[in-house]
Amino acid sequence: MSSLDPTVDDASPLSGFYSWTDTLKGVYYGPGSVNTALPKLLNTLGIKKALITNVVKQVEGILKEHNAFGATFFDIGQHTPIAGIREGIKEYNKYGCDGIVSVGGGSPVDASKAILYNIQKEVGGKTPLQIAIPTTLSAAEYSIGAGFTNDEGHKVAVSSQELAPAGIILDAEVTLSTPDWLWLSTGIRSLDHSVENLYRPLVSHPVKVLCYAAMADLFKYLPISKADPTNIEARQRLQIASWMSLWPMKLEKYSALGLSHALGHKLGARYSIPHGITSCLTLAPTVLLKSEIASDDDKKALASALFYLHEPSTGSVEGDVRRLAQLIDELITRLGLHSTLTEYKVPKEDLTSIASQALGAENDPTLPNVVKLLESLY
């Protein structure tokens, strides 16, 4: 490997520990780390009785061994329906829990945030703590916000610095039972994070470099993981790449990710399209559109991704952005994740409202471009 090779060194350790803020007490990562890290976090955080969102017998066993088991709650669907949150609060209170251990993808992690947010609103004081054990690559555990679907079927959000999980355990062995389509499609969700952070306002340069590294590893290890779903090393590196794609950071003010995510939120909540699949639908076309309408700085940031993907420049910035869009589309096809809005029965007459809601304004000058983007997804 040359000293100019941007790929993360494959010899770097797969296990370790990271901590930074008072809120995040630690990220433990590595195969088998649940067995050692969960007891440490229970002790560090002072959780005496935990509600488990989604069920993993291994986690139940560890909590019972340390007399910290309260109850298991798994009635949480895609896009985190409000009914599931209400039921979770009931279970939490019924068993006298003082924290949550979430096991699964973005829905249980976000549901746990929403449960804890509402409990804090009801009783006051500090928000109870969450330990997240992700089994997908959605990266919900690295944000301070939670999205859920209200009674009217609309996506709403809550946000607080205290909602960030206080402990995170990345154990590739726990992910082996995750369905392949979910594992791989949430990998594209992480790719979506890493791409959109390149043009997200207020993101610092060091975080953007982490996003480039995440992109390189996602492009490399997702096909390896598809070819051999039992490859623990590939799964562990993908979990770390997911972490790098949405590295925890505190911005000066709120800053949304970007158009691909905005479209995904509207499509997902209204038409029950899984989060990962929405990124498979919208990411490549969004990057292609950025080659036309993005600022010069944003185009340059996207074009620079080719270096990290070992791709030669096309000779122009716009051409490089188009090439990135093509590479993303090819990866999605290679992973067997290509889909259409037709498959999810999205009416064409809804496209203008979807686009305007994603943009946040009916008079946005790019509205016709975004409607055209959506039309290309049939």
14 secondary structure, DSSP code: S
Report yes or no on 288 lying in a domain: yes
Q: Give residue 47's domain range.
A: 32-171
Q: Are residues 228 and 372 in the same domain?
A: yes
247 neighbors 164 (Cβ within 8 angstroms): no
The CATH number linked to 136 is: 3.40.50.1970
| 355 within some domain | yes
- Alpha carbon distance 9, 7 (integer Å): 6
Domain's final residue, options 137, 171, 205? 171
Looking at the structure, tell me whether residues 260 and 314 fall in a common domain. Answer: yes
- Please indicate, yes or no, whether residues 164 and 197 belong to a single structural domain of this protein: no
- For residues 243 and 131, membership in a common domain is answered with no
Same domain, 146 and 218: no
Which value, to the nearest 10 degrees, does the dihedral of the CA atoms of residues 130, 108, 146, 88 take?
Answer: -80
| Number of domains present in the structure of the chain | 2
Same domain, yes or no: 115 and 192: no
Q: Running DSSP on this structure, what letter comes out for residue 8? A: P
Instruction: Determine contact, residues 193/152, Cβ cutoff 8 Å.
Output: no
C-alpha to C-alpha distance for 25 and 167, rounded to whole angstroms: 6
Nearest to 102 by CA among 62, 51, 57: 51
Tens-digit pLDDT string for the chain (378 aa): 333 455 555 667 789 988 776 678 899 999 999 999 999 999 999 999 999 988 788 999 999 999 999 999 887 766 677 888 889 999 999 999 999 999 999 888 989 999 999 899 888 888 999 999 999 999 999 988 887 777 777 777 888 888 999 999 999 999 999 999 999 999 999 999 999 999 999 999 999 999 999 999 999 999 999 999 999 999 999 999 999 999 988 777 777 899 999 999 999 988 999 989 999 999 999 999 999 999 999 999 999 999 999 999 999 999 999 999 999 999 999 999 999 999 999 999 999 999 999 998 888 999 999 999 999 999
Q: How open is the CA angle 176-181-187, to the nearest 5 degrees?
A: 80
Q: How far apart are the first and last CA of the chain?
A: 42
Pair (335, 193) in one structural domain: yes
Based on the fold, state whether residues 206 and 296 are members of the same structural domain.
Answer: yes
Whether residue 118 lies inside any domain: the answer is yes
Quote the pTM value: 0.92
- Interval 169-226: pLDDT, tens: 999 999 999 999 999 999 999 999 999 999 999 999 999 999 999 999 999 999 999 9
* Whether 155 and 205 share a structural domain: no
Is the same domain home to 253 and 310? yes
For residues 220 and 261, membership in a common domain is answered with yes
Of all residues in the chain, what percent are helix, strand and coil, respectively (each to 5)? 55, 10, 35
Sign of CA dihedral 195, 368, 280, 150: positive
Residues 154 and 302 grouped into a single domain: no
* CA separation for the pair 363, 323 (Å, rounded): 30
Distances (CA, A) of 344 to 250, 272, 340: 36, 8, 7
